Amino acid sequence: MPTDTDPTVAEEACFEAGIKFGTLYHQFAGTPVSPDSAESISTAMEESIENQPHCADVTVDVRTDELEAELADSAADYTELTGRFLEVEIVVDYEDCEVVTRMAMEEGYPLMRVESVRGRD
Write the pLDDT tens digit of every residue in 21-50.
999 999 999 999 999 999 999 999 999 999
Which regions in the chain score pLDDT beneath 70? 1-3, 120-121
Q: Which of 107, 101, 95 is nearest to 25 (CA)?
A: 101
Q: What is the pLDDT of residue 103?
A: 93
Contact (Cβ atoms closer than 8 angstroms) between residue 110 and residue 101: no
Rounded-to-integer distance, Cα 72 and Cα 115, Å: 34
pTM across the whole model: 0.89
108: helix, strand or coil: coil
3-class secondary structure for 57-87?
EEEEEECHHHHHHHHCCCCCCCEECCHHHEE
Contact (Cβ atoms closer than 8 angstroms) between residue 99 and residue 10: yes
CATH of 9-119, one of 2.60.120.260, 3.30.1300.20, 3.30.450.20, 3.40.50.1220: 3.30.1300.20
Rounded-to-integer distance, Cα 8 and Cα 121, Å: 6
Q: What is the pLDDT of residue 120?
A: 66
| Residue 37 phi, psi (nearest 5) | -100, 0
Q: What is the pLDDT of residue 4?
A: 78
3-class secondary structure for 15-32?
HHHHHHHHHHHHHHCCCE
Q: What is the pLDDT of residue 108?
A: 87
Rounded-to-integer distance, Cα 90 and Cα 69, Å: 27
